[in-house]
Structure 1
Amino acid sequence: MGGLTGDPAFAATTFVVIDFEATTPTGFPAQPIEVAALALRYETGTWTTAGRPFSSLIRPPAFAPVTPADTAQTGLTAEQVGQAPSPAEALGALDRRFAAGKPYLLVAQHAATEANLIHNQREHCPALARIDLLDTIPLARYLFPGLPNYRLDTLLAHFSIKHPADRHRAYADVEVTAEVFMRLVGAADENAELSDLAALVKIAGRTAKCNMPAQGELFDVHPTSERGHG
């Protein structure tokens, strides 16, 4: 056990590896068509799964149809997602997995993508939208400088993790991202500068948009105060 995994805050946290597949309609934000999540805990020196894995297709709105390019990348067709649960149904079911008052962190490869998708769907998943994230890319860059790039396929090759047959499907990507994350934590455990969860968050953390102060609040001027200095 190293400093990081020996930290009580690390041990208390449930790490939820999450991935979305999405369409990218012109003039609109990306719209999810699939989501998967896998919850991990580090207990008594080993990783364990917390609860059942989650996976669901999501029916996109009419303005964001699945395109031939989407099908070529993911294998998902317009017919498949056309019969899928709505965003409210799919993301609501995922949202109910999160227990109030328990510490969670989302884990994602290029977490900005997941952060934006979640924020744009926050009315359907208010609990999920308030969970901060860890990004495997800056963590890998910090721990393993000098790789040609930090794409998921590159990290899979670096760690000799088998490339899944259905790469670019949400649950397949969640499984291998979880493998990468566990390898990164193993490396971080041997790094004296990453001695606790706070240090890990400093390197690879991303604040959920719902947890950021609104721009207006940063510059609010109280009218009474303004008059008092007139």
Structure 2
Amino acid sequence: MGGLTQDPAFQATTFVVIDFETTTPTGYPAQPIEVAALALRFEDSAWTETGRYTSLIRPPEFAPVTPADTAQTGLTAEQLQQAPTPAEALGALDQRLTAGTPYLLVAQHAATEANVLHHQAEHSPTLARTDLLDTIPLAKHLIPNLPNYKLDTLLNHFGIPQPTDRHRAPADVDVTAKVFLRLISAADEDPRIANLAALVKTAGRTAKANLPVQAGLFDV
């Protein structure tokens, strides 16, 4: 192993791979209908799974599950009628994060997860303030010249089998985690990514809640 995984800051961090399935109602931000998360730590020269969570989420009335959503995810309105509310599902996930523990969220195209968490900050304040790593810029940095950096392309590149329930949050979290671990293995051999700070510089995304608030140009 190289410098990255020997960095004390890297070893102290819990990496939480997260994925949402959503509806996209006109005039509103995307609304979660399923969430999955998988927590990983690098300890004693090996990766350890330290937690796992998944839940369906009942969408609000203004964001019903559409036929297109069902075609994408397999989830139906009937399945979600008795699902936990966003407050219940995301609140339960948020409470699993331990105060004082360094966390980074990991996602494929992390802007999607960042936006969902930003709009659900009332229910998941800790998650909404947790910065993210995006597997796309990390893959672009480590594996140049792929035709694109979609999840399916990365799975094919690494020889990771497609899950039968692709586009469900638990399955997508599992394969995203596998891609992330392959990328970290490659980064560990890359002298440009010698520590956690370099990893964050390469692939980090600041949570919206942590961005500085810009004052209005004409505030008096």
Q: TM-score, normalised by structure 1?
A: 0.94
**Amino acid across the alignment from 1:90:** A
Q: Partners of 2:106 and 2:214 in 1: how far apart?
A: 26
State how 1:30-109 maps to structure 2 within 5 Å: 30-51=30-51, 53-109=52-108
SS at match of 2:6: coil
SS at match of 2:92: helix
**Amino acid across the alignment from 1:93:** A
Q: Partners of 1:146 and 1:82 in 2: how far apart?
A: 44
Residue number in structure 1 paired with 2:154: 155
Structure 1 runs, 4 residues or longer, greater than 3 Å off: 218-221
Residue number in structure 2 paired with 1:16: 16
**Amino acid across the alignment from 2:180:** F
Highest CA radius of gyration, 1 or 2? 1
State how 1:96-175 maps to structure 2 within 5 Å: 96-175=95-174
Q: Partners of 1:220 and 1:190 in 2: how far apart?
A: 50
**Amino acid across the alignment from 1:189:** D
Q: Partners of 1:111 and 1:171 in 2: how far apart?
A: 16
Offset from partner CA, 1:151-189 (integer Å, 9 cap, x none): 000000000001000000001000000000000000000
Residue number in structure 2 paired with 1:2: 2
Q: Partners of 1:220 and 1:14 in 2: how far apart?
A: 42
Offset from partner CA, 1:177-222 (integer Å, 9 cap, x none): 0000000000000000100000000010000000011122x8697x
Percent sequence identity is 73
- CA offset at residue 8 of structure 1? 0.3
Q: Partners of 2:159 and 2:103 in 1: how far apart?
A: 28
- CA offset at residue 82 of structure 1? 1.4
Residues matched between the structures, number: 220
Structure 2: 5+ residue runs without aligned partners? none
Q: Partners of 1:128 and 1:113 in 2: how far apart?
A: 14
- CA, structure 1 residues 83+12, in 2 after alignment: closer, same or farther (shift >3 Å)? same
- CA offset at residue 93 of structure 1? 0.2
Q: Cα RMSD over matched residues? A: 1.2
Offset from partner CA, 1:80-131 (integer Å, 9 cap, x none): 1111000000000000011111100000000000000000000000011110
Q: Partners of 1:131 and 1:214 in 2: how far apart?
A: 17
- 2:195 matches 1:193: no
Offset from partner CA, 1:6-29 (integer Å, 9 cap, x none): 000000000000000000011111
Q: TM-score, normalised by structure 2?
A: 0.98
- CA offset at residue 32 of structure 1? 0.3
